[in-house]
């Protein structure tokens, strides 16, 4: 090992931290990943309950080429195995309406026309709008820093600025969707994509419709061994490239010499570093790891994203009408979002998401059984205290499932576990258990996330869902690319 090799400490091993470890190790840096938990992956982890296996966190897999790119960057011949889903999601409404979303646009438009009475052209128009947003904005806002002036001095940015009127910046997501569709059920379907970054479609800007493009214009996918395979794959690549992992090791302080990082203090002793890449929630970093005068108060005080209440149920029955992804809609979407975001309370008739990986990976449940990941959106836990509404919400969720699926689900629950905002924060240090850092509930919030580098502290970088470009697996992976590109360019390894 060359004595001149720069040492980079990565704080946290969420998907962005893992991706950063792959990229930086492949670029020739010495990388040490420091993780407080006994496992890697952050929210993207797994657990077994009896004979059932559950992915604990993110469940939707899009843009698989980002994983393929990391494999290529590593230079290791270890292909990541995934499949393309023939259908994206099964939607269920309280009045008995059922709809299946397809990645084939013509097939999906025909389904919406038949089940919801919309014109096919309205569906095509919606997907064209999502596609336009992605084509014009993805390279500018998702794949580079927004905090470097040089990134705006190019033709792509100029073209986007010239077309800014097409982005409907002064309208909310719901306003655009309501103008395009006549059936509130269709509006509710497309509004739900706001929850992919923990936001409210009645406040979030219309550009959040960009998210629908990933599923409906590109396609939805599933890792062959479940979402936790992403964690295992990236961890394996980074270890083979020489990255070192220190588990059960909590960072207590980022060490500085003046305004330059020199290492981290941990529960197992100090670790020297030339650079630090933090995959921890920025509120945790500024609140716990740095002195207060470093804090960017305006960003830290922004509204936090949604959190989640999740039940993991081993179900001793197969439900043929369900697929990998299933949504049981609230009877009143507007009232639900108002309750969660403005009243800061869980809603009594929650939109309920059921993810069943045994539909794709049969070994995740015994024969004739299914592993249900049952999630509803709830506010982040601003109080910091243990959650008191879990059992009340469980009753509402069970009642909803029984109504919509015409069943008695309690009799089939064989094993059970639960995760709520308080537990999410305990396990991942995310502020109040918020899943995506700050919400995007105004037309500027999506663009004013924390930068991928510190302007006050030299050699301190940030990746993960609480910073630019945002939350979710694809954006987390892209944040790691942005950071590694910055470091490689600075160190002459670009």
pLDDT digits (tens, 9 = 90+) for 197-212: 899 999 999 999 999 9
Q: Which of 172, 199, 219 is the C-terminal boundary of a domain?
A: 219
Give the span between the Cα atoms of 223 and 286, in whole angstroms: 35
Are 209 and 110 within one domain?
yes
Whole-number pLDDT of residue 1: 38
CA–CA–CA angle 439, 151, 487 (5° rounding): 85
Are 121 and 158 within one domain?
yes
Are 284 and 337 within one domain?
no
Poorest-pLDDT segment among 133-142, 190-199, 305-314, 367-376 = 133-142
Let me know if residue 89 belongs to a domain: no
Tokens representing residue 411 in the block:
């009799």
Let me know if residue 445 belongs to a domain: no
Are 317 and 423 within one domain?
yes
pLDDT digits (tens, 9 = 90+) for 385-399: 999 999 999 999 999
Q: Which of 172, 198, 219 is the C-terminal boundary of a domain?
A: 219
Are 201 and 233 within one domain?
no
| Half-sphere CA count of 114, side-chain side, radius 13 A | 10
Whole-number pLDDT of residue 155: 62
pLDDT digits (tens, 9 = 90+) for 253-289: 999 999 999 999 999 999 999 999 999 999 999 999 9
Give the span between the Cα atoms of 408 and 402, in whole angstroms: 5
Are 139 and 239 within one domain?
no
Tokens representing residue 409 in the block:
């689900």
Are 26 and 130 within one domain?
no
* 450 secondary structure, DSSP code: B
Let me know if residue 338 belongs to a domain: yes
Domain count for the chain, please give it.
Answer: 3
Question: pTM of the predicted model, to two decimals?
Answer: 0.93
Q: Which domain holds residue 33?
A: 7-44+225-296+450-490
pLDDT digits (tens, 9 = 90+) for 428-452: 999 999 998 888 887 666 567 888 9
Are 341 and 317 within one domain?
yes
Residue 166 has pLDDT above 80, yes or no: no
Let me know if residue 76 belongs to a domain: no
Are 287 and 319 within one domain?
no
Tokens representing residue 321 in the block:
């009408």
- Average model confidence (pLDDT) for the chain? 92
Q: Which of 186, 201, 219 is the C-terminal boundary of a domain?
A: 219
Give the span between the Cα atoms of 307 and 219, in whole angstroms: 26
């Amino acid at each position: 090992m060359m004595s001149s090799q720069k040492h980079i400490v990565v704080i946290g091993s969420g998907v962005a931290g893992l991706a950063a470890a792959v990229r930086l190790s492949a670029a020739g840096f010495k990388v040490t990943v420091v993780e407080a938990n006994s496992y890697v992956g952050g929210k993207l982890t797994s657990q077994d309950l009896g004979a059932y296996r559950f992915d604990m966190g993110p469940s939707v897999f899009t843009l698989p080429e980002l994983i393929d790119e990391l494999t290529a960057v590593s230079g290791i011949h270890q292909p990541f195995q995934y499949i393309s889903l023939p259908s994206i999601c099964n939607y269920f409404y309280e009045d008995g309406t059922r709809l299946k979303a397809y990645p084939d646009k013509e097939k999906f438009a025909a389904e919406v026309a038949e089940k919801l009475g919309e014109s096919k052209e309205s569906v095509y128009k919606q997907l064209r709008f999502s596609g336009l947003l992605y084509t014009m904005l993805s390279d500018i806002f998702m794949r580079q820093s927004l905090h470097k002036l040089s990134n705006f001095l190019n033709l792509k940015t100029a073209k986007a600025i010239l077309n800014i009127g097409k982005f409907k910046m002064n309208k909310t997501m719901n306003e655009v969707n309501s103008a395009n569709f006549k059936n509130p059920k269709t509006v509710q379907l497309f509004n739900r994509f706001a929850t992919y970054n923990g936001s409210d479609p009645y406040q979030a800007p219309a550009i959040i419709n960009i998210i629908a493009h990933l599923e409906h214009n590109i396609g939805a996918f599933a890792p062959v061994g479940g979402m936790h395979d992403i964690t295992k794959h990236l961890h394996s690549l980074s270890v083979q490239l020489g990255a070192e992992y220190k588990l059960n090791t909590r960072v207590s302080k980022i060490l500085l010499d003046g305004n330059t990082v020199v290492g981290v203090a941990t529960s197992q002793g100090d670790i020297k570093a030339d650079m630090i890449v933090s995959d921890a929630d920025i509120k945790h970093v500024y609140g716990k790891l740095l002195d207060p005068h470093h804090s960017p108060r305006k960003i830290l005080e922004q509204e936090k994203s949604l959190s989640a209440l999740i039940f993991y149920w081993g179900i001793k029955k197969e439900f043929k009408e369900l697929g990998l992804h299933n949504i049981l809609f609230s009877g009143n979407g507007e009232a639900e979002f108002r309750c969660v975001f403005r009243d800061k309370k869980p809603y009594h008739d929650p939109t309920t998401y059921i993810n069943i990986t045994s539909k794709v990976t049969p070994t995740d449940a015994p024969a004739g059984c299914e592993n249900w990941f049952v999630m509803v959106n709830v506010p982040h836990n601003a109080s910091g205290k243990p959650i008191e509404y879990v059992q009340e919400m469980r009753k509402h969720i069970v009642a909803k499932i029984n109504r919509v699926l015409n069943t008695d689900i309690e009799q089939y629950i064989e094993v059970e576990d639960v995760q709520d905002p308080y537990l999410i924060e305990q396990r991942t240090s995310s502020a109040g258990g918020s899943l995506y850092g700050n919400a995007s509930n105004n037309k500027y919030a999506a663009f004013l996330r924390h930068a991928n580098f510190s302007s006050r502290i030299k050699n301190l970088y940030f990746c993960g869902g609480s910073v630019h470009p945002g939350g979710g697996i694809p954006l987390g992976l892209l944040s790691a690319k942005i950071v590694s590109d910055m470091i490689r360019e600075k160190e002459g390894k670009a």
